[in-house]
Amino acid sequence: MGVGDVSKRILLGRKLRSAQLGETLLPKRIAFPIFASDALSSVAYAPDEIFIILSLAGISAYAFSWWVAIAVAIVMLAVVGSYRQTVHAYPSGGGDYEVATVNLGRNAGVTVAAALIVDYVLVVAVSLSSAAQYAASAISPLAEHEATVAVVLTAFLTVMNLRGVRESGTSFAAPAYLFMLGIAGMCLWGLFRDLTGSLPQAASSDLRIVEAEGYEGTITTIALVFLVARAFSSGCAALTGVEAISNGVPAFQRPKSRNAASTLALLGLVAITFMLGVVTLAREMGVKYVDPHELERLTYADGSPLPADYDQPTLIAQIARGVFDHFPPGFYFVVIVTGVILVLASNTAFNGFPVLGSILARDGFAPRALGSRGDRLAYSNGIVFLAVMAIVLIVAFDAQVTRLIQLYIVGVFVSFNLSQLGMMRHWSRLLSSEQDPSERRRMQRSRLINAVGLSLTAAVLVVVLLTKFLAGAWITILAMGTFFMLMKAIRRHYDNVAEELVADEGDRAMPTRVHAIVLVSKIHKPTLRAVAFAKASRPNVLEAIYVASDPAETNALVDEWDRRNLGVPLKLLHSPYRELVNPIVAYATEIRRANPRGVVAVYIPEYVVGRWWEQLLHNQTALRLKGRLLFTPGVMVTSVPYQLRSSQVAVEREERSHRVKAGDLRSGNVDDRR
């Protein structure tokens, strides 16, 4: 086993056989932290965004924070209820894409897929950027290096997910449950202290917020409505991640649909409770929170500016510091587990996107490589693709959550709407043929749930587009359109290739003539083996070709060729400019042109070496020549290998990697077919 193989095994673990796929399925206790982390983590930034937007009009606008949170909670309830219908009706893992494709047509399905791809990439970028900000708040040296921290976290998650869904889920389950324990404890203790009158004010409660430009003084009703709508659209970031469970149903243990639906219900209950608890405590404690890039709007009560090095803690950090003012470990625990859950939130995308990519690859809308499982039975190529796209976004936006959040949720609400519309058509189609009264009542109830979900998500999408379009949502729409066109182009390419490859009777016709060419560089063992192999194939014409560029070398080779009397004529191709590839390609093309129904067979002697650095020293001309000849119609290329002694090194290395060792049978490393 080489150094590369050893490193791969250390990072990813031992290979798994395809028959072990069932061992990777998830029980609910593991599936919940994997698929719910995204929605749960929104507690760490969705309330922040609500307060940031409302702060534009000053402290008085915070009075609407509770109502905004209630509105977001209502939408989440409707969406969770709708997706519970989806996981029962479409348990194959296609989720919104399958629902839209089956019920609304291919274009609707591709639109949903494009929206989900954008959303998954943004989930990773936003979550890890937010986690980097929490890390910078806790560790001062990391300040101003948030993008680097986010990139490192992305690489870490990529490696963990390449190890397999179940292993990554088991590793991340404990932190997710600790986060729930921390937030639940903070909210319960904070509300208890509020009821008993012992809840302190936040450290920022004595500060003053200067209204943003355009919001000074008393604002108009229209401006206020628009402001609250903006806060609502930002708060709806809490809904992202709900759709991931519908895409991940195949990863659940049986009964898959029931387990996925139960996980969805628990997710909705916990996420709503936490969000309302955080918003309530923030209001009661008088938290003041503005855009981190507009800290000049925060001043002391007398209007004097804050110090230039003032660092604004996140909303949860301010609440935890006040709630646990006599118990510092509680504060550090909440802040740490919040940062960790933000890292895990992106793991939802790492589990949802690869499954979606594999389905798109199966349907011909994505490269087929996305449908291949890796050594650990995860869709490795999809995981790597998602990581690369997220890193590009993190670097481009410098890990600034407030800038990235403007791109957020547009894609997911597009998929929400098309999915709910598709589910309504699904139930209507079934109702047209269903006669059983009890089943009809169940279907009508399900259709009503999806209708309510469609109404609310459509309203949210309109609000999001109106309030976020110029702030950055147009970038998301542009990205969705780009992915849509790209997927359509990929499908068109695969369709064209399939059409060209359809076999007909003409493909069975034998070539009228085979003209074989053996390439000669020197007269040595590889050349003689290629000549012997070409003779054994019994072509109509066989000749050896030598590209002559140096007269002395050419004369010496011709003399030796004649002396050996190999029974094959040697033809010289003169190359005054010392080119090797072009004369051979031109000669083969000319033979083919003279006999269009014939075949030109080119035999290329090649060395086989065993070490990677030896590959750089041999066969470069052969590689270039094969690359050119592959595009020449009617020309067949055959490599004739000659194994040098160093090639035995590779053979021995391969044998060692497959040698059975003690414990291999018990651990499943032995191939049963041996």
Residues 403 and 464 both lie in one domain = yes
pLDDT of residue 407: 75
- State the pLDDT confidence band at 405, using cuts at 50, 70 and 90: low
pLDDT of residue 9: 47
Q: Does the structure show a pLDDT above 50 at 666?
A: no
Q: Does the structure show a pLDDT above 50 at 18?
A: no
Percentage of the chain modeled with pLDDT above 70:
88
pLDDT of residue 131: 80
CB under 8 Å to 506, separation ≥6 — which residues?
none
Mean pLDDT of 573-602: 90
Residues 400 and 525 both lie in one domain = no
Mean pLDDT of 583-596: 92
Whether residue 583 is contained in a domain is answered as yes
Residues 533 and 429 both lie in one domain = no
- State the pLDDT confidence band at 377, using cuts at 50, 70 and 90: low
Whether residue 474 is contained in a domain is answered as yes
- State the pLDDT confidence band at 673, using cuts at 50, 70 and 90: very low
Q: Does the structure show a pLDDT above 50 at 665?
A: no
Whether residue 16 is contained in a domain is answered as no
Domain end among 469, 496, 523: 496
Whether residue 18 is contained in a domain is answered as no
pLDDT digits (tens, 9 = 90+) for 607-629: 887 777 777 776 678 888 888 99
Q: Does the structure show a pLDDT above 60 at 352?
A: yes
pLDDT of residue 530: 93
Instruction: Give the Å distances, CA to CA, from 592 to 341, 411, 500, 574, 601.
Output: 65, 53, 22, 20, 10
pLDDT digits (tens, 9 = 90+) for 316-329: 999 999 999 989 89
Residues 208 and 320 both lie in one domain = yes
pLDDT of residue 576: 82
Q: Does the structure show a pLDDT above 90 at 456?
A: no
Percentage of the chain modeled with pLDDT above 90:
27
Whether residue 6 is contained in a domain is answered as no
Read off the CATH number of the domain in which 103 is found: 1.20.1740.10
Whether residue 7 is contained in a domain is answered as no
CA distance 448 to 424: 8
Report the chain's mean pLDDT, rounded to a whole number: 83
Q: Are 116 and 243 in contact, with CB atoms under 8 Å apart?
A: yes
- State the pLDDT confidence band at 6, using cuts at 50, 70 and 90: very low
Residues 591 and 466 both lie in one domain = no
CA distance 521 to 527: 8
Whether residue 472 is contained in a domain is answered as yes
CA distance 221 to 111: 36
Residues 609 and 486 both lie in one domain = no
- State the pLDDT confidence band at 79, using cuts at 50, 70 and 90: confident
Q: Does the structure show a pLDDT above 60 at 404?
A: yes
pLDDT of residue 498: 85
Q: Are 647 and 608 in contact, with CB atoms under 8 Å apart?
A: yes
Residues 567 and 610 both lie in one domain = yes
Domain end among 433, 466, 496: 496
CA distance 144 to 149: 10
Residue 544 belongs to domain spanning:
511-667
Domain end among 437, 472, 496: 496
Q: Worst-scoring range by mean pLDDT, 161-170, 302-311, 458-467?
A: 161-170
pLDDT digits (tens, 9 = 90+) for 531-545: 999 999 999 999 999
pLDDT digits (tens, 9 = 90+) for 177-232: 899 999 999 999 999 999 999 999 998 999 999 888 877 777 778 888 888 888 88
Residue that wins the pLDDT comparison between 349 and 166: 349
pLDDT digits (tens, 9 = 90+) for 20-61: 444 456 777 877 877 777 778 888 878 988 999 899 888 888
Residues 484 and 575 both lie in one domain = no
CA distance 298 to 289: 8
Read off the CATH number of the domain in which 566 is found: 3.40.50.620
Host H or E run for residue 229: helix 221-235
Residues 616 and 589 both lie in one domain = yes
Residue that wins the pLDDT comparison between 12 and 347: 347
Mean pLDDT of 505-529: 85
Residues 515 and 470 both lie in one domain = no
Whether residue 15 is contained in a domain is answered as no
Residues 251 and 347 both lie in one domain = yes
Residues 543 and 491 both lie in one domain = no
Sign of CA dihedral 18, 19, 24, 27: positive
Q: How many domains does the chain have?
A: 2
